Amino acid sequence: MSGVWTVAEISGGEIKAISFELLTAARQLADTLGTTVGSVVIGHEAASVAGSLFACGADEVAVAESPALANFAPEAWTKVIASFAAEHHPQVILLGHSALGKDLAGRLAVRLGTSVIADCTHFAVAGGKVVCTRPIFGGTMLSSAVGTTALTFATVRPKAFARPNEQPGREGKLLRIAVDESWARSRTETLEITREQTAAIGLADAEIVVSGGRGVGTPDKFELIERLAAQLGAAVGASRAVVDAGWRPHKEQVGQTGRTVSPKLYVACGISGAIQHLVGMRTSGTIVAINTDAEAPIMKVANVAVVGDLQEVIPAVIEELKKRAGAPQGV
Ligand SMILES: Cc1cc2nc3c(=O)[nH]c(=O)nc-3n(C[C@H](O)[C@H](O)[C@H](O)COP(=O)(O)OP(=O)(O)OC[C@H]3O[C@@H](n4cnc5c(N)ncnc54)[C@H](O)[C@@H]3O)c2cc1C
């Protein structure tokens, strides 16, 4: 058994943020286990991203390159990683707890008859085994588990680990995974990938998030949340109550059944702070809550709790921000 490996995700030729976070987790584990960190990259011209992975801590990068692997296809990816694992015998393979990672981890565990532990936020080593910790019951309890097989797959919650500091020029070993072209034959075929055209800042990577809940009042009044977000250069988030009501799309939902975010600043407007919401944002750097109810649970986790009607507080905050930015007022 050797090495802690990660599966890197590429989108539009760019490495996704989760892939770097996996390297932080892998490095911590590998240093404790006294082993190395590796990253598997799959795609057309996958080797082009190897330098970034080396710079962020990978000692080895194993690439499976083929035009036939240009788009994510679960069956083909599973075969590539299974083949790699059979040859290199890694102790742990970390994947993002993303759509791609969740899809692959389950398939791989079944195919290889190994353990899989999902949605991990912390790793430790005890008796040579990797102890994986994950929040359960909406984050109110933590569960620790160890794999019982020689190889364990674990998916890692986005934002649970920071991106590593880049070391430009850091080098590593490039390995090639021999790709059998038949692997790309699949029972499904990707006909088209349509990327959403949006100028809005993505929730997952935003440094500031402004979220609105039922206290906003009506869907059209969400325009106030959007204006505050625009003024702060923030992404817009939402509670499940407003998503369920059809006021906002599900991609904006923060919480247990939405996204987990950990921005530097989280502004919760008209959100009560139910536990299912808190688990998705409580690791944020600074939490500001605007709520008419001083006793709302969100006020207890807020660093700054503003008791007031958001219809009055937010316009005043926007005006103040504009003044400070030296912008013309009253727009
Ligand atoms: C299995 C499960 C999963 C769930 N997953 C999620 C999830 O992922 N994310 C999530 O958010 N929820 C989730 N929920 C729902 C969660 O339990 C709450 O129902 C939801 O978060 C409440 O949304 P809210 O805070 O917007 O609404 P409410 O609880 O109705 O709170 C509205 C708040 O606005 C305040 N308010 C009212 N008017 C104003 C005003 N004018 N100015 C300022 N404040 C005002 C009120 O005082 C109140 O605190 C889940 C529930 C279950 C059972």
- Give me 135's structure tokens: 């929040």
Spell out the domains of the chain, with CATH numbers in brackets.
4-184 (3.40.50.620), 208-325 (3.40.50.1220)
Name the residue at shortest CA distance from atom 11 of ligand 1: 239
Q: Contact at 8 Å (CB) between 213 and 238?
A: yes
Averaged pLDDT, 292-312: 98
- pLDDT tens profile 111-161: 999 999 999 999 999 998 999 999 887 677 889 999 999 999 999 998 889
Start-to-end CA distance of the chain, whole Å, equals 63
Spacing, Cα 90 to ligand 1 middle (Å)? 43
Spacing, Cα 291 to ligand 1 middle (Å)? 11
Name the residue at shortest CA distance from atom 7 of ligand 1: 255
- pLDDT tens profile 24-39: 999 999 999 999 999 9
pLDDT tier for residue 200 given thresholds of 50, 70 and 90: low
Ligand 1 atom with minimal separation from the 298 CA: 49
Higher pLDDT, 9 or 189: 9
- pLDDT tens profile 239-281: 999 999 999 999 999 998 888 888 999 999 999 999 999 988 9
Q: Contact at 8 Å (CB) between 228 and 317?
A: yes
Ligand 1 pocket, mutate which of 209, 210, 214 (most atoms under 8 A from CB): 214
Write b or e for each residue in 247-276: b if 16 or more Cβ atoms lie within 10 A of its Cβ, otherwise e: bbeebbbbbbebbbbbbebbbbbbbbbbeb
Residue 160, pLDDT score: 87
Spacing, Cα 6 to ligand 1 middle (Å)? 36
Name the residue at shortest CA distance from atom 12 of ligand 1: 240
- Give me 118's structure tokens: 């999902």
pLDDT tier for residue 296 given thresholds of 50, 70 and 90: very high
- Whether this prediction's pTM lies above 0.85 is answered by no
Mean of the per-residue pLDDT values of the chain: 92
Residue 331, pLDDT score: 43
Pocket of ligand 1, beta carbon within 6 A: 213-215, 239-242, 253-258, 270-272, 274, 276-277, 280, 290-293, 296, 309-311
Residue 255, pLDDT score: 92
Q: For residue 73, is pLDDT > 60?
A: yes
